[in-house]
């Protein structure tokens, strides 16, 4: 039984970290003409209304999207430019999820498969994520109701020469960290060159430690980007967002730095917020 619904968290600091990393990686992969198959194992419902009661309950977008908009003048990398452009063409006060960010960039020759296991979220996603196909959004491709981890491994290898995967679970169950690691190992066994993005939360309980250890054992290069968006709490809680990029495009490290360093600096200096961005190779 799935209880998580991303509408409660849409546009939060983790979404901004994840989606800028997603846009950057996609932009760099698209510089080569060979077609890509994009897989999104945990797609969510597509488009989120930030005036809906779910989003208003905890107003997490204040630590994410609202901060990016407030510091927009300093956020000038290609990824940020695309980010703000897409927000402008969305309905007012709405925030796009990962399937829409990919659909705003992909080409006609690319393929796209998105999985969602929550029946309600899936039915919204299946109707184009709540957004009619319009520029710059292409249609979402294949929208599958089912388990994205098993579905991904079954679908590999793709027919396209290149493969891109986003794995973005809610980690409602502790075993999900292991399930993600098992899936990555199985996917790479079928497709060694896959570019895989994994999101994980930075929790005081540090539940992601084992996942990092397993990913550090891969033959493939792994880049880690962590965005700490508030002081680590004394008790229980989430204080940051982590991304692992397996087989990262070679410019990505520099580009992530260029995209996040000015944002972190602004937030520290102007908002006096406890912000840190760290990058390293596992
Ligand atoms: N990737 C989305 C984005 O960036 O906009 C957010 C995804 S949200 C963190 C996680 C989603 O995964 C939820 O909508 C949840 O219903 C769905 N989910 C949970 N377990 C799943 C599974 N095994 N396969 C596919 N979807 C799953």
pLDDT in tens, 222-246: 999 999 999 888 888 999 999 999 9
| Ligand 1 mean position, distance from CA 76 (Å) | 30
Residue 140: per-residue pLDDT: 83
| Ligand 1 mean position, distance from CA 116 (Å) | 6
| Ligand 1 mean position, distance from CA 169 (Å) | 5
| Ligand 1 mean position, distance from CA 168 (Å) | 6
Q: What is the mean pLDDT of residues 167-183?
A: 97
Residue 129: per-residue pLDDT: 62
Q: What is the mean pLDDT of residues 24-40?
A: 97
What domains can be seen in the chain, in order of their start residue? 6-281 (3.40.50.150)
Decide: 117 in ligand 1 pocket, CB within 6 A.
Answer: yes
Q: What is the mean pLDDT of residues 141-161?
A: 96
Which alpha helices (DSSP H) does the chain contain, by range?
13-29, 53-58, 65-70, 78-89, 98-103, 119-126, 148-155, 175-190, 209-216, 252-269
Residue 273: per-residue pLDDT: 80
Confirm if 43 and 125 have CB atoms less than 8 A apart.
Answer: yes
Q: What is the mean pLDDT of residues 198-225?
A: 97
Atom 24 in ligand 1: residue holding the nearest Cα? 147
Q: What is the largest CA-CA distance in the chain?
A: 50
Decide: 125 in ligand 1 pocket, CB within 6 A.
Answer: no
pLDDT in tens, 248-259: 998 999 999 999
Residue 269: per-residue pLDDT: 85
Decide: 44 in ligand 1 pocket, CB within 6 A.
Answer: yes
Q: What is the mean pLDDT of residues 79-90?
A: 96
- Band (pLDDT 50/70/90 cuts) for residue 262 is very high
pLDDT at 208 over 90: yes
Q: Is 188 left (phi over 0), alpha (psi -120 to 50) or beta?
A: alpha
Decide: 42 in ligand 1 pocket, CB within 6 A.
Answer: yes
Q: What is the dihedral of CA 245, 250, 251, 255, to 10 degrees?
A: 10
Q: CB within 8 A of 119, min separation 6: which ones?
A: 145
| Ligand 1 mean position, distance from CA 266 (Å) | 31
Across the chain, mean pLDDT equals: 94
Helix axes 175-190, 148-155, angle to 10 degrees: 10
Confirm if 165 and 183 have CB atoms less than 8 A apart.
Answer: no
Q: Give the HSE-up count for residue 77: Cα atoms under 13 Å, Cβ half-sphere.
A: 21
Q: Is 156 left (phi over 0), alpha (psi -120 to 50) or beta?
A: beta
- Band (pLDDT 50/70/90 cuts) for residue 1 is low
pLDDT in tens, 120-134: 999 999 987 667 666
CA–CA dist 41, 20 (Å, integer): 18
Q: What is the pTM of this model?
A: 0.96
């Amino acid at each position: 039984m799935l209880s998580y619904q991303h509408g409660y968290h849409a546009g939060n600091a983790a979404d901004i970290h994840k989606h800028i990393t997603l846009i950057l990686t996609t932009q760099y992969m698209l510089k080569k003409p060979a077609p890509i198959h994009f897989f999104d194992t945990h797609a969510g419902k597509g488009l989120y209304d930030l005036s809906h009661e779910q989003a208003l309950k905890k107003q997490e977008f204040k630590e994410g999207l609202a901060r990016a908009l407030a510091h927009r003048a300093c956020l000038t990398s290609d990824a940020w430019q695309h980010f703000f452009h897409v927000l402008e063409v969305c309905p007012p006060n709405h925030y796009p999820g990962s399937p829409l960010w990919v659909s705003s960039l992909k080409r006609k020759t690319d393929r796209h498969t998105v999985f969602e296991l929550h029946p309600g979220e899936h039915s919204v996603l299946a109707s184009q994520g709540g957004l009619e196909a319009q520029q710059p959004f292409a249609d979402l491709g294949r929208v599958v109701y089912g388990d994205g981890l098993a579905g991904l491994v079954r679908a590999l290898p793709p027919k396209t020469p290149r493969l891109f995967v986003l794995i973005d679970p809610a980690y409602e169950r502790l075993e999900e960290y292991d399930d993600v690691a098992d899936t990555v190992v199985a996917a790479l066994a079928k497709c060694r060159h896959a570019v895989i993005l994994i999101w994980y939360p930075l929790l005081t309980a540090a539940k992601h430690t084992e996942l990092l250890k397993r990913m550090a054992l891969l033959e493939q290069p792994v880049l880690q980007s962590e965005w700490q968006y508030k002081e680590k709490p004394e008790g229980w809680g989430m204080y940051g967002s982590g991304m692992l990029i397996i087989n990262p495009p070679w410019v990505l490290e520099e580009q992530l730095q260029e995209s996040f360093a000015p944002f972190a600096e602004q937030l520290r200096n102007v908002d006096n917020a406890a912000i840190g961005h760290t990058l390293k190779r596992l």
